């Protein structure tokens, strides 16, 4: 003969009508202790636990469930689950009523909550009833899977970006071959031209060849810098003064700044604390940001670059008085190939973010359409980076 081992409490309940006042008091105290124990156990769980009636009325909720759904656990009894989570009733209808006359099945669902905080929740619901002919009830387990979903989404996004960068690097590498061919043929043409008798036409042609050679060199430099930026290469860290890097970039871009009629306002203190960084990668960061700022401005625009520091970090702020960025575009700025510029490749800010992360830094962007944009870079100071690595 098989069966469930009888609970000692059940034995006591069977003799309930024969208990005296002292026995009843002992029984009540024992029941209270067992209830308190179960309450404690359920409230230590990270998962939310609910018991609801067929109408969705909450008979029990542990602390985790109350936090997930957003109500007071001590006053939760009697509250309707459908009122707290609108739309859930229709989703669980099959689980509560069954299908084709069958009994209620086990239900598993995922849904998104926006109150009290945005999160994704997995729901697991099991039907049960208390004794023969008892009213059907449902035990529900709620798990917060927001982090799990976010991690999966980030992994997919990382793989997508890696694939795009690999393709872009391949295309950029292939562009180097025709550029090399152009360089060789331009050199041959130049040599033959120098052997011809001097004339105004020959001199003009020589100038044109020189322009072409300079442009090929410039394109070759762009491709080389691009490949260095997109390939996963750790920074070659050395002591760097951010101000010196910014001054190098501004000198390199001085002619274009002047041609555009822009003014530059800089606060670049020479006493800025040293950081550990890859100088060439930092040049790429500031080149991209200054280029973006220049292209966002028309007419007599103003480019402001300010460097400051606190006890732990060095900050560089690059501000422009350009067209600004639309609110709906702010969240897409670091996505590959997202660009609002005609002829833009949409990789500049993604490369900036990637380099900053490689340096343990952060990049933030504030913008107002029609007013301008401020990009803030935060670098850990040398002493902070060393402490962080040791810990």
More confident of the two residues 285 and 102: 285
Q: Tell whether the model's pLDDT for residue 192 goes beyond 90.
A: no
Name beta bridge partners: 302: 263
281, 332, 333, 334 from 338: Cα distances, Å: 22, 7, 7, 8
- Highest mean pLDDT pick, 6-10, 32-36, 234-238: 234-238
Of residues 376 and 106, the one with the higher pLDDT is: 376
pLDDT of residue 343: 45
For the chain, give the mean pLDDT. 77
Residue with the larger pLDDT of the pair 328 and 310? 310
Pick the residue with more confidence: 383 or 266? 266
Query: What was the pLDDT predicted at 1?
Result: 44
Strand 362-368, strand 107-113: pairing: unpaired
Q: Is the pLDDT reported for residue 7 higher than 70?
A: no
Give per-residue pLDDT as tens, 260-298.
888 899 889 988 999 999 998 899 899 989 988 898 888
Hey, what domains does the chain have and what are their CATH numbers?
A: 45-144 (3.30.450.20), 151-230 (1.10.287), 238-390 (3.30.565.10)
Output the pLDDT for position 388.
37
pLDDT at 330 over 70: no
Q: What is the pLDDT at residue 315?
A: 94
């Amino acid at each position: 003969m098989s069966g469930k081992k009888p609970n000692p409490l059940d034995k006591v309940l069977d003799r309930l009508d024969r208990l005296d006042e002292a026995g009843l008091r002992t029984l009540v105290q024992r029941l209270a202790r067992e209830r308190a124990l179960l309450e404690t156990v359920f409230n230590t769980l990270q998962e939310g636990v609910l018991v609801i009636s067929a109408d969705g009325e909450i008979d029990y909720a542990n602390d985790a469930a109350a936090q997930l759904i957003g109500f007071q656990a001590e006053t939760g009894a009697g509250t309707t689950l459908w009122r707290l989570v609108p739309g859930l009733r229709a989703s669980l209808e099959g689980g509560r009523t069954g299908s084709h006359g069958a009994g209620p099945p086990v239900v598993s669902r995922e849904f998104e909550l926006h109150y009290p905080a945005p999160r994704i929740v997995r729901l697991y619901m099991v039907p049960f009833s208390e004794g023969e002919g008892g009213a059907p009830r449902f035990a529900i387990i709620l798990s917060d899977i927001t982090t799990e979903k976010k991690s999966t989404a980030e992994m997919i996004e990382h793989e997508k970006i890696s694939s795009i960068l690999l393709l872009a690097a391949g295309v950029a590498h292939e562009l180097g071959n025709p550029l090399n061919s152009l360089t060789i043929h331009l050199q041959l043409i130049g040599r033959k031209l120098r052997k011809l008798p001097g004339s105004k036409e020959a001199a003009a042609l020589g100038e044109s060849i020189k322009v072409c050679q300079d442009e090929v060199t410039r394109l070759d430099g762009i491709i080389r810098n691009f490949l260095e930026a997109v390939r996963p290469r750790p920074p070659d860290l050395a002591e760097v003064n951010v101000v010196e890097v910014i001054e190098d970039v501004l000198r390199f871009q001085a002619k274009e700044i002047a041609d555009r009629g822009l003014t530059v306002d800089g606060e670049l203190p020479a006493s800025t604390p040293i950081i550990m960084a890859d100088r060439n990668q930092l040049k790429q960061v500031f080149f991209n940001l200054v280029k973006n700022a220049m292209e966002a401005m028309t007419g007599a625009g103003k480019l402001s670059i300010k460097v400051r520091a606190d006890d732990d970090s060095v900050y560089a702020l690059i501000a422009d008085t350009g067209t600004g960025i639309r609110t709906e575009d702010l969240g897409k700025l670091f996505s590959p190939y997202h660009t609002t510029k005609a002829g833009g490749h949409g990789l500049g800010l993604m490369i900036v973010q990637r380099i900053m992360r490689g340096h343990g830094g952060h990049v933030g962007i504030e913008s107002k359409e029609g007013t301008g944009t401020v990009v803030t870079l935060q670098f850990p100071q040398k002493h902070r980076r060393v402490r962080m690595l040791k810990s």
